[in-house]
Structure formats: structure tokens, C-alpha cells
Structure 1
Amino acid sequence: MKNIQIGIPSVFLKTRWWWMANCLVLIIVFSSCRKFVTVENPPDILTSDKIFTSDKSATAAMLSIYISMMNDQYGNNGSFACFSMSSLAGMSANEMTWTQNNTSAPYFQQFSDHALTPDNSYIGTFWSDGYGYIYRTNAIIEGLSKASGVTDSVKTQLGGEARFMRAFCYFYLVNLFGDVPLVLTTAYKENMSLPRTPAATVWQQIITDLKDAKALLSDRYPTAEKLRPNRYTASALLARAYLYNKRWLEAENEASAIINSGKYGAALPMPAEVFKKESTEAIWQLQPVIANANTPEGGIFLTAANTRPNYELTQQLLNAFEPGDNRKTTWIGFSSVANPSWAYPAKYKAGAGALTEYYIVFRLAEQYLIRAEARAQQGGKIQLAQNDLDVVRSRAGLAPTTAADQPSLLLAIEKERQTEFFAEWGHRWLDLKRTNRAAALLQPLSPPGTWKPGSVLYPIPDLELKANPALTQNDAYNN
């Protein structure tokens, strides 16, 4: 089997001259893979008009993005696509801390201390990877519009996947940085000098792309496993986008469509089964592509007995679990190298060896909690919101919620999201930001003077400000 990776210039990195030499081509690079797709070897370098002359090469262009998402966390500093969103945003949310002493520690510690600087290389990679993926999705959308040899059914599928992926990238960029340039074409010279677009406009584009993706995608997965987005994958992100924008009824409806589809099991699986590759709860997964390796979490979070883990879960997080919560016993590991013992994330159990786990991007429990929150916010649906919350609590081995009014129920849902999604895609950090509770909960945990108004946003990277004078810095980082 082969997998495919397209190298495309990062939209805003004028300073990265090696990208500029390839600005008019798509480079197809083959590396080892297990079973994502069967393709024929094309030439090493293909112009975009040649890529979109067959179903196989056009599909390869899309698949290369998913492969890069799993590859990037091993070769780059902070791709938001996978592991780094869980670890670095997890440190921002006081879920975990970095325990090792090495050259990365100062930049890592900035996330925990809320003392980020614009030259933090991990921040730079969040930005450059996000826009690198966006450039590639834009190239696919443009290429499909002029494709001569791609069948209509493949055009439809790939068009839906590309719009979903563009929305996915902008979702994280706008949440991490606030206003960001909205790039919808491959006109890189113009894109390099774009100013920041108001976040509200970026959100409009995210929702538009996801609606378009839903219209183009089928409810069936293009692969035997859940490795490429389907219609419900777009719905999952759309439900989240509606929730973040306080469009409660629309969030409820999108989540209900997924829950009621019957595609993801009649009941949530037990905690030990959630993160396996055959998980019935998974809505969209990414397949590991590194030989003899499972997910990045399995490789980096897990630790051997009597060994200090790389990342330690904070006492604040551990205290959030109720007695008898099966997630604490199943999803958290403990190492006895020190007293008290070190606690670390252990949702994924496999590191090296046979492939037993895929990387989950969206799963069904989130949809129950999205619907619970959306219903609670509507006021007259308290019982329905309690029912959804209790689906997740029951799977964890907990009794039904005792929260009986809107304020207490919303806090109960927030707490459930904390214990359900810790060390997973930065959920806690984004939740505290969107509910305006970050300052109240995180400032007391930060070193004196580090938390500032505006610390909920990451700084615009130095390299980007130097490359594009039209960009401005977020307020918390203007000296």
C-alpha cells in the first residue's frame, strides 16, 4: 500500500524560502502506509491540472492531508491537527504539566503559566500547519471545479471532504487566535498580505463550508472504516460550531441527527472500548501512518512503571472526578516513581507494536453533551438536558445528575465535559474560553502577573508578523 503527501507552501511564510520554489506545483511524496487507499505511483511532481485528471490522483490529493495530519506531530513542533492540540491546549487549561527538563521546557512552561511569547515555536506551527492544510483544501476545491477526468461522484465526495477540512482548520485557528486571515483561494501572493478577518466572518465561513459539506457528503463512509469524513462528521463539527455561537436549537438539531442516525451504536461503549480502532462511538478517526506505532497519545502520554511521565495530570483535574467514576480508573495511569505517584493520561493504551487504536477526532459522547447544553440553554428542556447528561454519566458508572435548574445544570455539564474530554483535542481550554470562565478559573492558578486581559487568545507568531505587515498582534502580547 502507498500513502500520499502533498507539499504546499504555507500561505503566510514568506521567510520559508524553500516552500516558494514549489509554489505552482503539487508534490506527491510516497511513504509506507497500511491500508488507507490503493493508488498507482504518479510522477514525483505533478502540476495541479494533471492531478485532477483521474479519480485516483484526485483522491490521493485529499488523502494526503489526513496522512499529513498524523505525520506532522512527529516531525513538527505543534501541529494543532493531532497530539499538540491535546497536550499544549491541555496545559493552557491546567489539565496537565510538562515534567521533563530539556530545551523544550521553557516554551512548554509558557502554556501552563499563560505567559506565551510570539516567538514560541509551537505557536508558530499551530498557525503554519493550519494554513498549510487550508492551502491544500483550496487547491483541491479549485482543481475539482476544472477537473476533466474526475467522475461526478468522486468530485462530489472530495468537494465535501475539502470543505469540511477547511472548516475544521478554521475552527481551531479562530479559537486559538481570534481574528485570522480568511484565505479561500490559492492566490498565494495576494494571500500573503491579507489582514486579519473578524472572527464573526470566519465563523460564518465555517458554518457555510459545513453546510455545503453536509449537502455533498453521503451518510456512508468512503472507506470500510471511519477514516474519511461522511455527512455525520460534518454534522458533528457543525453542532459544535452552533454551540460555540449560541445557536442552541440548531446545535440541538445537528446533535440529534447524529444520535438518532443509529450508525454509532445503541449505547455508548464502556470506557475501555472507546479509543480502540473498532470503537462504535467514533464518528471520525485518523489512522496512524508511522510504522510500528499507534496514536501519538499512546506513544507520548503513556509511561512505563516506575518511570516519570512526560505529562502529569494536575491535582485540579484529578479532584474533578467523583468517587466511583470509571473514567478515572480506566483513562488515567499512575506511575509509582515518586510519592505521591504521578498521574498521566491513558485513554489510548497502545504505543509501539500492532495497530489496535485509531486516533478519534469526533465521538458520540460529545454530541450528547452538546445536546444537553443546548437544551439546558433553551430553558424549557431541563428534563431532556438531564437525560442527555445522564447517558454520559451512566457510562462512567455514576448516578443520575442532581442538577435541577438551568444554572446548576450548565455547571454540571461543564464539569462532565471536563472529566469526559480531558487530554483530548483541547476541549477544556476551548470550553472555558467560549463560556467566558477562563479568567475566573485559570488566573488564580497562574503565576502572579502572567494572566492578562486577552490571555485567552494565543499570540500571532513573530514570523507571520514579520512576513505580513498587514497582520496585527493580539492585545495581551503588545508590549
Structure 2
Amino acid sequence: MKRIASNINNIFSGAGNRLLAACLAAGMLLSSCEKFVAVEDPPHQLTKEKVFTNDNSATSAMLSVYIDIMNDQYGNAGSFVCFSMSSLAGMSANEMIWTQSNTTAPIFQEYTDHELTPENIYVHTIWKDGYRYIYRINEVLQGLTNATGMTDAVKTQLEGEAKFMRAFCYFYFVNLFGDVPLVLQTNYQENMLLPRTPAARVWEQIITDLKDAKALLKETYPTAERLRPNLYTATALLSRAYLYLGKWEDAEMEANAIIESGKYGTGLPALNEVFKKASPEAIWQLQPVRANFNTAEGSQFLVVGATRPNYELTQAMLDAFETDDDRKQEWVGFSDPVNNPKWAFPAKYKAATGAVTEYYVMFRLAEQYLIRSEARARQGAGKLLTAKQDLDVVRTRAGLLPAIAADQAAVLNAIEQERRVEFFAEFGHRWFDLKRTDKAEAVLKPVSPPNTWKAGDVWFPIPGLEIMANPKLEQNEAYK
């Protein structure tokens, strides 16, 4: 399927034809997996002018972004989100290490070798893919503005999805790189020469897009499964964004809206249900698009037989689990527990090839409990009791007793610990948590070689090829 998409892009290589190429790719890819929507026009009958003249072809333009995100997981140099965030950011946060010696391995163990450079192909892929998605999303938003022949309901839904997805992309960009170019239009010649936008302005756009998305999206999902964003998907990212920005009351309010909606049940499901395709905890999922493949986590993290994992959990990560934590039993695998008990690997996703039984869980309910817990604890003594109650919802699901924490500092430490073991090897949560709480240096410097840790190591480098192409881009300080 990736070859199909590549060939289409070669055929329609002009900038003005990129959206058409995306729609054609969406049509072809959707024909090989369970369809999000029924597309009446055969892909070869689509023309650039027709993309936004009917509901189905316009919907295909948006769906092609989700399809590409999933299809790109299997590239040789990773991708923008999903597996790349779980593995690369996980290595940066000392959750796991890459154990193989080949020269194409991702060099992200900053705490051991500090070899991450602007020439790193994985960093460049993250940047390139992310801006490719943003460009396509901006094309959708522009096309919807001038759309004719679409129903108001579909137009509103697609605008909400596009604004959510743009915020989603920029959330990861600003947390990985800091200041980044803020691209909001489709003039590629202007986009290619944009300087880096201050992170504060990028955050403003993220919040604006998410508020708009909430106003546009409905509580119901457009599909029978949770494969396209709804109102609560935008709310989930908004609550996280407010938490990162220190807007505690707003973070609490948004997380509370999801928890109290009742749409995702009361409490949390069993650990072995969390990452299934029918996960009751999932707020938003992405569906695998390749035949007989589940997730990249399933194919890359899992180990069959007594061989050393490519991605091995660090001893520090294993030691973070309390003795009776069921998550270590359910979500950690050991490839050779007798002879090499340290050969541990992430096992949240348990399916690699064969029938699709697992979808990527992009947002889930446990995070909202921990966001509400932290947001309440940050507001002071008056909300510590309810903060602990939310914390204990997650602990109880893991088979643990209620947290023992008497004051604000202790409760916040307990929440940080819970986030570490709940979200390990999952979309870079630990890496981002260390940075947003200003603890990255305190945690990672002691496990770095002497005199190697630099404060600027909390950011990935701006790809060198991008700086060569755009002289207005400046490199992050640690990589100059």
C-alpha cells in the first residue's frame, strides 16, 4: 500500500495536485481495509475540482491523513507519531534502549551517548511527515471554505476534525522542538521560508484550534468505531494542553467533562482490554491499514522466543513498578526470564500479524483521571482529597492500594509516579512530563556520562536538511 501511495504522489507531483493525490491514495487504501465511509465515486474519477463538491470525496481528503499516519508507521525511518513517539521519546526518557548495533538504529539514548544530531534520519522524518500532514490539513480547511455541494453537517464535522488534527500535530512539534514554523495556509513557497514561531504563539494556536474543534464536533462519533475524532477527542487534547500550560482550573474542567459524560463508562476497564480494537477506555483510535498487520508496536516491540528485544526496557523503568502492580504482569514481556531476566520489553500491544484485533489507542480515559487529579492537586489543599480519589481510580485498576500521601507535594509525587508506570512506552508521555515539570535534567543527568548532559538536550535538533533548505530556520542551542 505504501508503494501505491508513493506512485500516486509521483504521478501528481505538483503542489496544486497534492490533495488530489491524497484522495486517490485514500480511495485505494480504503478499498483494502474496513472503510470509514462509503465513497461513491471510484478513485480514478476524482478530479481536483471535485474534491470539495460532495461529502464523500471531501471526507476522503480528511481520511487520507489518518491513513497516512498509520501507513507511515512501517517506514524504514519511523514516522511522525504513534510508534516513533513511543520508541524515540521513550528512549530519550530512559524508559528503553535500542539493543542492536546496526548503524541505522535510532540514536536517542541521550542519557548514555548523546549522539543525537541534526542529521538523524528519524528526526528528519518526524519533521517532514508532520509538516506534510499539516499541509494537507490546511488544504482541507481551505477547500471547505470554498466548498459547494456539501451538506452543512459533513462540512462542519470535517472542519472540526481538521482543526483538531492541526492542533494535534503542533502539540507534538512544540513539545519536541520548541519554537517551530507555524504554517496556517497552503502557499508552499511562503511556507518553505517561514522562520520559527515562538512556542507561546504555537500554543495559542493549539488552544484556538481545539476550542473551535469542540464547537464544531458532536458527542457522537461519525463511524461505528472510535476512529474519527468527536467532541471529547478535542476535549482530551485540550485538557492535556491546559495541564502542560499550567492552567489548572481549565485542565480540570475539560477532563471532568469527559469523565462525567458517561460516554466511556464509569471507572476503568480491565488492563487486558485497554489496547483492544473495542477498548471501552479509548477516546480516539486509529485503525491499521495494512492487510494482516496490527500496530507497529506489536511488530516492533514484541519478542518471540528467547531472543534479546530490539527495544529493551531499562532497569530503572522496571524498578519503577511497585511489587504488586498488575501492569508489570500485563504490559511487560520477558523474552528470556530465566537466563536473562532483564530482557524486558513493552507488551501493551500483543498482536503483530494476522487478523486485526488491536487499534492504536491515541487518547484514553485513564489519562483524563490523572489530568484531573494533577490539576486538582495543583490548586491546593482544598482539592487534595478529590485529587487522591482520581489517582486511586488508576491505582485500583492496577491492583494497588490507595496512595499514601498527606500533603500537596506528596500527592503530586504520587501522580508523577503513576503517570510514569501507566503511560510507559506510550506516545512520549514520560519524556514530555519530565520536560514540562522541569525535571529532565535532575532525572537524566545522573545517568548520563560525566560532563555530557546539556540543558538544551530537552529539545530534539531542527533537521539539518531543513535548515539548508530554509536559511531563516535557526538550530536549537545544544546542536549548534
Do structure 1's residue 439 and structure 2's residue 431 form an aligned pair?
A: no
Partner of 1:197: 197
Q: Given that residues 111 and 444 in structure 2 are in contact (C-alpha distance below 8 angstroms), is that contact kept between their aligned partners in structure 1?
A: no
- Most deviating of 433-442 and 76-85: 76-85
Q: Given that residues 33 and 291 in structure 1 are in contact (C-alpha distance below 8 angstroms), is that contact kept between their aligned partners in structure 2?
A: yes
Partner of 1:390: 392
How far apart are the structure 1 equivalents of 2:212 and 2:84? 29
How far apart are the structure 1 equivalents of 2:397 and 2:75? 37
Q: Given that residues 244 and 434 in structure 1 are in contact (C-alpha distance below 8 angstroms), is that contact kept between their aligned partners in structure 2?
A: yes
- Most deviating of 34-43 and 130-139: 34-43
Unaligned runs of 5+ in 2: none
SS in 2 for 1:333: strand
Q: Give the RMSD, CA atoms, in angstroms.
A: 1.9
SS in 1 for 2:344: strand
Partner of 1:105: 105
For residue 81 of structure 1, report the CA deviation from its aligned partner: 1.9
CA spacing shift, 1:137–1:19, aligned 2, 3 Å: farther
- Amino acid aligned to 1:340: P
SS in 2 for 1:344: strand
How far apart are the structure 2 equivalents of 1:264 and 1:7? 41
SS in 1 for 2:249: helix
Partner of 1:450: 452
How far apart are the structure 1 equivalents of 2:366 and 2:446? 30
Q: Given that residues 156 and 216 in structure 2 are in contact (C-alpha distance below 8 angstroms), is that contact kept between their aligned partners in structure 1?
A: yes
Partner of 1:188: 188
Match of 2:16 among 20, 24, 45: 24
Do structure 1's residue 121 and structure 2's residue 121 form an aligned pair?
A: yes
Structure with the bigger percentage of helix: 2
The sequence identity of aligned pairs, in percent, is 67
Partner of 2:325: 325
Q: Given that residues 238 and 254 in structure 2 are in contact (C-alpha distance below 8 angstroms), is that contact kept between their aligned partners in structure 1?
A: yes
TM-score by length of 2: 0.94
Partner of 2:477: 475
Partner of 1:144: 144
How far apart are the structure 2 equivalents of 1:180 and 1:127? 10
How far apart are the structure 2 equivalents of 1:154 and 1:438? 44
How far apart are the structure 2 equivalents of 1:245 and 1:19? 43
Please give the per-residue CA displacement for 1:191-241, whole angstroms capped at 9, x wherever unaligned.
111100000000000000000000000000000000000000000000000
Please give the per-residue CA displacement for 1:302-352, whole angstroms capped at 9, x wherever unaligned.
101212211110010111111110000000000117423410000011111
How is 1:58-77 mapped onto 2 (pairs within 5 angstroms)?
58-77=58-77
Q: Given that residues 94 and 442 in structure 1 are in contact (C-alpha distance below 8 angstroms), is that contact kept between their aligned partners in structure 2?
A: yes
How far apart are the structure 2 equivalents of 1:417 and 1:394? 14
How is 1:10-409 mapped onto 2 (pairs within 5 angstroms)?
21-25=13-17, 26=19, 27=21, 28-29=24-25, 30-31=28-29, 32-44=32-44, 48-105=48-105, 107-109=107-109, 113-336=113-336, 338-379=339-380, 380-409=382-411
- Most deviating of 240-249 and 68-77: 68-77
For residue 418 of structure 1, report the CA deviation from its aligned partner: 0.3
Q: Given that residues 275 and 348 in structure 2 are in contact (C-alpha distance below 8 angstroms), is that contact kept between their aligned partners in structure 1?
A: yes
SS in 1 for 2:333: strand
How far apart are the structure 2 equivalents of 1:125 and 1:465? 14
- Amino acid aligned to 1:345: P
For residue 6 of structure 1, report the CA deviation from its aligned partner: 9.8
For residue 40 of structure 1, report the CA deviation from its aligned partner: 3.5
Q: Given that residues 177 and 462 in structure 2 are in contact (C-alpha distance below 8 angstroms), is that contact kept between their aligned partners in structure 1?
A: yes
For residue 420 of structure 1, report the CA deviation from its aligned partner: 0.0
SS in 2 for 1:381: helix
Q: Given that residues 97 and 112 in structure 1 are in contact (C-alpha distance below 8 angstroms), is that contact kept between their aligned partners in structure 2?
A: no
How far apart are the structure 2 equivalents of 1:448 and 1:217? 51
For residue 114 of structure 1, report the CA deviation from its aligned partner: 3.7
How far apart are the structure 2 equivalents of 1:202 and 1:61? 25
How far apart are the structure 2 equivalents of 1:92 and 1:419? 16
- Amino acid aligned to 1:355: V
Unaligned runs of 5+ in 1: 10-17
For residue 109 of structure 1, report the CA deviation from its aligned partner: 4.7
SS in 2 for 1:303: coil
How far apart are the structure 1 equivalents of 2:377 and 2:345? 33
CA spacing shift, 1:91–1:7, aligned 2, 3 Å: farther
Q: Given that residues 227 and 284 in structure 1 are in contact (C-alpha distance below 8 angstroms), is that contact kept between their aligned partners in structure 2?
A: yes
Q: Given that residues 164 and 234 in structure 2 are in contact (C-alpha distance below 8 angstroms), is that contact kept between their aligned partners in structure 1?
A: yes
- Amino acid aligned to 1:85: M
CA spacing shift, 1:215–1:6, aligned 2, 3 Å: farther
Please give the per-residue CA displacement for 1:390-442, whole angstroms capped at 9, x wherever unaligned.
00000000000111111111111001000000000000000000000000001
For residue 273 of structure 1, report the CA deviation from its aligned partner: 1.1
Q: Given that residues 111 and 445 in structure 2 are in contact (C-alpha distance below 8 angstroms), is that contact kept between their aligned partners in structure 1?
A: no
CA spacing shift, 1:358–1:43, aligned 2, 3 Å: closer
How far apart are the structure 2 equivalents of 1:273 and 1:112? 35
How far apart are the structure 2 equivalents of 1:135 and 1:271? 37
- Most deviating of 109-118 and 336-345: 109-118
For residue 5 of structure 1, report the CA deviation from its aligned partner: 6.2
How far apart are the structure 1 equivalents of 2:326 and 2:296? 23
For residue 49 of structure 1, report the CA deviation from its aligned partner: 3.1
How far apart are the structure 1 equivalents of 2:401 and 2:107? 41
Number of residue equivalences: 467
Please give the per-residue CA displacement for 1:107-165, whole angstroms capped at 9, x wherever unaligned.
35558634310000000011111111100110000000000121111000000000000
Q: Given that residues 334 and 344 in structure 1 are in contact (C-alpha distance below 8 angstroms), is that contact kept between their aligned partners in structure 2?
A: yes
